[in-house]
Amino acid sequence: MPRILDGAAIAAQIKHEVAAEVKQLATQGIVPGLAAVLVGHVPASEIYVRSKVQTCAELGLYSDLITPPDTVTTEDMLDLIGALNSRDDIDGILIQLPLPRQVDAKALLDAVSPAKDVDGFHPINAGRLQAGRPALAPCTPAGVIEILKRSGISISAKNAVVVGRSDIVGKPVAMLLLHENATVTICHSKTRDLGAVTRQADLLVAAIGRPGFITQEMVKPGATIIDVGINRIETREEFDRFFKGQVKPEVYAKREAAFQKRGSVIIGDVHPAAFELSSAYTPVPGGVGLLTIAMLMSNTVRAAKMRRRL
C-alpha cells in the first residue's frame, strides 16, 4: 500500500516554525515584511494572493498588497519595484504572474533586488543556487525537498529523474536534489524513450504541466513520486479517461463526488493509476501545492535575517 505524503501536515509544521521565528525576531524589534504586487483582476491570482496575505497575518509577518491597474506600463512597474527595493520595512517582493501582455515580466523579475527575491527567480539567486552558495530558492522546489526530508525519505545516492525543465520548478529542483547527493537526470519533451529513463528513478518528480502524463508503465515499482502538476479536468470524457476503471473504487467514488459537485477536479502530471506502483507519493490536491505558500513565508523570514546578517 503506497504511503501518501501529507502536504497539509508538512505545510502546517513549517508555518509553526516560521511563526516561532517571527516571534523571536519581534524581540529584536524586527517584523519581516512581504510586498505582494497583483496587477489587474485575474480571479485565480486574486485568490492566491489573498491566501498569501492572510497567511502573513496568521504568522505575524507584515504584508503590503499593491494592486496596479491592468493598464500599467513596464516603466511604471519598474518604478514601483525600485521603490520597494528601497523600503526597509519590506524584506520580500512577490510579483504575481501572469502579468498583462504589455508588461515585460522578465525585466521586472530582474529588477527585484536579489536580497528581496523571495520567489528565487532572479538570475543571481539562480546562480548562487547552482554554485551551492546561500540563496533564496524557488518556493515549490524548496517545498519538494522539505516533503522528502520531513517524510524521512532518503535522497542521497538515489537516482532522481525530473520530468520538466522550467526555470521555476524543473531546473531548480534538479539542482536542490543534486546538492542532496542524488544522481539527477532532467527529462523534457524532446527526451528520447522517456519511459526508459523514468523507469530508472528511485525519486520521480513530475513537473511538465500535462495532466496524467506519467503513466504506470513509466514508473519503477517502489519509487517515490513527487507530483508538482496542477491541472483542471472539466469534461466528463477527460474525467472518465483518468479515473473510470483506472483507480480503486473508493478513490473513484471520492473524485466522482467532487466532479459532480464542482464540475471539475484537479489532477497532477501523474496518472492516478500510476501511484499504485509507488512506495510513497504526493497527492494532487493535498501535496506539493500546499508547501508553496509555507515556503514563501519561510523565504521572507530568511530574507529578513540575511539582510540584517542574523
In this prediction, residue 193 carries a pLDDT of: 96
Which pLDDT band, with edges at 50, 70 and 90, does 115 fall under?
very high
In this prediction, residue 1 carries a pLDDT of: 85
In this prediction, residue 87 carries a pLDDT of: 97
Q: What is the mean pLDDT of residues 75-98?
A: 96
222 versus 252: the higher-pLDDT residue is: 222
Mean of per-residue pLDDT scores for the chain = 95
Cα-Cα-Cα-Cα torsion 218, 223, 224, 229, nearest 10 degrees, comes to: 0
* 8 A C-beta contact, residue 56 and residue 294: no
| 7-118+291-304 and 139-288 agree in CATH topology | yes
Cα(42)–Cα(15) distance, integer angstroms: 27
Q: Which long-range contacts (CB under 8 A, 24 or more apart) does 250-255 make?
A: none
Annotated active-site residue in 6, 119, 202, 227: 119
Q: Looking at domain 7-118+291-304, which CATH architecture does it have?
A: 3-Layer(aba) Sandwich (3.40)
Q: Which grid cell sits at 172?
A: 531548480
Annotated active-site residue in 6, 52, 91, 171: 52
Tell me which fold the domain 139-288 belongs to.
Rossmann fold (3.40.50)
Annotated active-site residue in 6, 91, 96, 171: 96
Cα(156)–Cα(148) distance, integer angstroms: 11
In this prediction, residue 195 carries a pLDDT of: 96
Residues 6+ apart with CB under 8 A from 188: 163, 164, 165, 170, 208
pLDDT digits 0-9 by tens, 45-84? 888 899 999 999 999 999 999 999 999 999 999 999 999 9
Which pLDDT band, with edges at 50, 70 and 90, does 250 fall under?
confident
Could you confirm whether 52 is annotated as catalytic?
Answer: yes
In this prediction, residue 245 carries a pLDDT of: 87
pLDDT digits 0-9 by tens, 122-162? 999 999 999 989 889 999 999 999 999 999 999 999 999 99
Q: What is the mean pLDDT of residues 99-115?
A: 94
Could you confirm whether 89 is annotated as catalytic?
Answer: no
First-to-last alpha carbon distance for the chain, in angstroms, is 45
Annotated domain spans of the chain: 7-118+291-304, 139-288
| The amino acid at 270 | V
pLDDT digits 0-9 by tens, 203-231? 999 999 999 999 999 999 999 999 999 99
Residue 246 pLDDT > 90, yes or no?
no
Q: What is the pTM of this model?
A: 0.94
